[in-house]
Structure 1
Amino acid sequence: MLTPKFSGIGDMNVSFISKNAKKLSVAILISLPGLLALVSLVTPPLGFPAIALAVNPLVLLVVFTLAGCFAAPRVSLKSRLFLGDEQSPALLLFFLLLGAVAGLMLGVLDQTTASVWRPDGGELKTLFEGADLSNLTIGIFYGGITEEIIMRWGLLSLLALGLSKLSHYRVALQLAVVLTAVLFAAGHLPAIFLMSPEPGSLVLVRTLGLNLIAGLLFGYAYTRISLEAAFSAHMGLHLGVFLTAATLQLV
C-alpha cells in the first residue's frame, strides 16, 4: 500500500532556499568587500573582536536577501542582479550623479549647521570632517551594496508586499519607502552613542534627518528604477561627500 506524501512548511522553506541559493551566494560574494572593510577599518568596541562587526550584518544579509527574493517579484520591483531585469547604464549613471549632488548638499547643510547641533565643538565630526578614504571605502562597499540589499531589496520589498494587501499598490510602495528610510535613519543612531555616550537631542535630530533624506533617495531609486539604481545613488552620495570635502581642503 502506497503512503501519500505531504509537503509541509519545512519542505517548502527548504525548497525556497535551495531555489534561491545561487542568488544568496551572489549577495554574499558582492558584499564581502564591504564586510571586510568593516572588520579592517572600523575600531570595535572595547572587548569585542573585530570579526564581530561583520557577524550581525552577515546574518541580516542572508535573511533579507531571501526575503527580497520572495517579496520583490510579487510587487514588481526590479533587479538585474537577482531577477535578470534589463538595466539602462545611462539611468545608473544618472542616479550615481544624483547621489553625488545629494551628498554635496547634505554635506554643506551639515557643515553650516554644525554650530547649532554641536555648539560646544564636541568630538563628533561633520560629514566633511569625517570624509577620509576609510569612510569612503566603507560607504561605497558596505553602505552602497550590503546596506542596500538588506534595507531596500529585503526590508522595503517585504513592507511593500505587506502594505499592498491593505492599500493601493502605489501607496504601498510610497509608504514602504518612507518606513524603510525611517528605520534606515534610526539604524545609524547606535554608532553615534558609541562615539558620544551623551550626544544630545540636536545631534540625534541631525543624524536622523540626514539619513532620512538619504534613505528616501535610495528608496526612490529602487522603487522607480531598480536595486542597482539604489546601489548607484548610495555610492554616489559617499563619493559626493568625499570629493566635495577634498575640494574644499584644496581651496
Structure 2
Amino acid sequence: MVRASAPGTTSTTRRQYTRRVSALFALGFAGIASFGVTLVATGLLPPTPDLSPVMVFILSLLMPTVFLAIAVFVGVFAASRVGLRSLVAERVAGGDPITPELRQSGPRALAAGIAVGFVLAAFDVTFSPLGAVPASATGTPTVVDILGSAPVRFLYGGLTEELLLRWGLMSFLAWVGWRAAGGIRRPGSDVMWPAIVLTSVVFGIVHLPALAGLASLSFATMIRTVLLNSIGGIVYGWFFWRWHLEAAMLAHAGTHVAFLSLSVLGFLLL
C-alpha cells in the first residue's frame, strides 16, 4: 500500500526547494548585474544597426540570465543526489551556519586558486612565442582598466560561472553518470572525474566567444584558451566535489586575484 505524503511535509519540501533556487539565483545574478554595468561603463556593447542600445543591453543579459536559471534548477535537483553541496543552499533550507565550514575550506581553496593563477600565467609566457596569446584589440589596458575589471571577474567569474558550470553542468553530468552506473551507491571517482573533466573542457570552450569579441582568434589561440581554462576548471571542480560549491567559487576568485596582481605589476614595471 502506497502512503500519501503528509501535506505539511510536502509544503516544507517545496519551500526549501524554492529557497535554495532563489538564494542561488540571486547569488549568480549579482555577477550578471556586474557584467551589465561593465558593458555600459566600458562601451563594449556590440553595435547593432537594427536595435537600440537599450535592447542590445537587455538581450546581452537575457541569455546568461536564462542559463543561470536553468543551471540553478538543475543543480538543486541533481547536486544533492550525487553528494555535491552548496553551503548557501543548505543554510537557507535550515542548515548549519556557513562560516565554520568556510574557515576550514576557504583558505586552502583561495590559496589553490591563486597558485592556479600563477601557473596559468606561466603557461601564457610559454605559449607567447608560439603566437597563441591573443593581442588585445583595445590596446594596452591602464591600471584603471585592470582594477575596473575586478567586479566582473570576481562576481561573474567567481559566482555566476561556477553556478553555471559546476553547480548546473557538473552536477547534471555526475547525476547522469551515477544513474548510468545504477544510481544506488554514492558516485565515486569513476563518475566524478569524467564529470569534472567534461565540465572543464566546456568551461574552456565557452570563453572563446567573449575572447573573439576582444581579439583575433587563431587555432593556437583557441587551443591555449580551452587548455588553460580547463586546467583551472579541473581545480574548481575538484573543490566542488571534495568540499562544496563555495570552495570552488573561492578557488576561482583566487585565480583572478593572481591575474589582477600580475596585470597591475606588469603595468607598473613596463
When normalised by structure 2's length, the TM-score is 0.78
Count of residue correspondences? 236
Contact 1:40 1:50 in 2 (8 A): no
* Residue 25 of structure 1: aligned partner: 22
Instruction: Show the counterpart of 1:175.
Output: 194
Q: 1:23 Cα shift?
A: 1.7
The runs of at least 4 consecutive aligned structure 1 residues that moved more than 4 Å come to 15-19, 128-131
1:62, CA displacement in angstroms? 1.0
Query: 1: distance between equivalents of 2:113 and 2:86?
Result: 19
Q: CA RMSD in A?
A: 2.8
What does residue 69 of structure 1 align with?
76
Which residue does the alignment assign to 1:37? 34
Q: Is the 8 A contact 2:127 2:224 kept in 1?
A: no
Q: What is the alpha-carbon distance in structure 2 between the residues aligned to residue 220 and residue 30 of structure 1?
A: 21
Write out aligned runs for 1:139-158 (5 A).
139-158=153-172
Please report how far the alpha carbon of residue 16 of structure 1 lies from its aligned counterpart in structure 2 after TM superposition: 8.0
CA distance in 2, matches of 1:154, 1:223: 13
Q: Does the aligned pair in 1 maintain the 2:142–2:267 contact within 8 Å?
A: no
Q: How does 1:91-110 map to 2 (within 5 A)?
A: 91-110=105-124
Describe the shift of the 1:225–1:19 C-alpha distance in structure 2 as closer, same or farther (beyond 3 A). Answer: closer
Q: Give the letter aligned to residue 213 of structure 1.
A: I
Amino acid of the structure 1 residue aligned with 2:65:
L
For residues 14-60 of structure 1, give each alpha carbon's deviation from its aligned partner in whole angstroms, at most 9, with x where no partner exists: x9876522222212322333112211213122226223222111111
Q: 2:228 aligns with which of 199, 210, 213?
A: 210
Q: What is the aligned counterpart of 2:136 among 123, 128, 142?
A: 123
CA distance in 1, matches of 2:237, 2:137: 27
- CA deviation profile, 1:214-238 (whole Å, cap 9, x unmatched): 1111101100111010010011100
Match in the other structure for 2:52: none
2:45 counterpart letter in structure 1: P
Identity over aligned pairs, percent? 27
Instruction: For 2:132 and 2:84, locate their aligned partners in 1 and report how far apart those are by CA, in whole Å.
Output: 40
Structure 2 partner of 1:90: 104
Residues 186 and 17 of structure 1: is their aligned pair in 2 closer, same or farther, counting only changes over 3 Å? farther
Residue 57 of structure 1 is matched in structure 2 by 64
Give the whole-Å Cα distance in 1 for the aligned partners of 2:112 and 2:253: 10
State whether residues 61 and 146 of structure 1, in contact with CA within 8 Å, keep that contact through their aligned partners in structure 2: yes
Contact 2:25 2:72 in 1 (8 A): no
SS at match of 1:113: helix
Distance 2:123 2:69 in 1: 35
SS in 2 for 1:77: coil
Is this contact kept in 1: 2:24–2:72, CA < 8 A? yes
Distance 2:135 2:107 in 1: 37
Q: Is the 8 A contact 2:200 2:233 kept in 1?
A: yes
Long gaps (5+) in structure 1 = 1-14
Residues 20 and 66 of structure 1 are in contact (CA less than 8 Å); yes or no, is this contact kept in structure 2? no
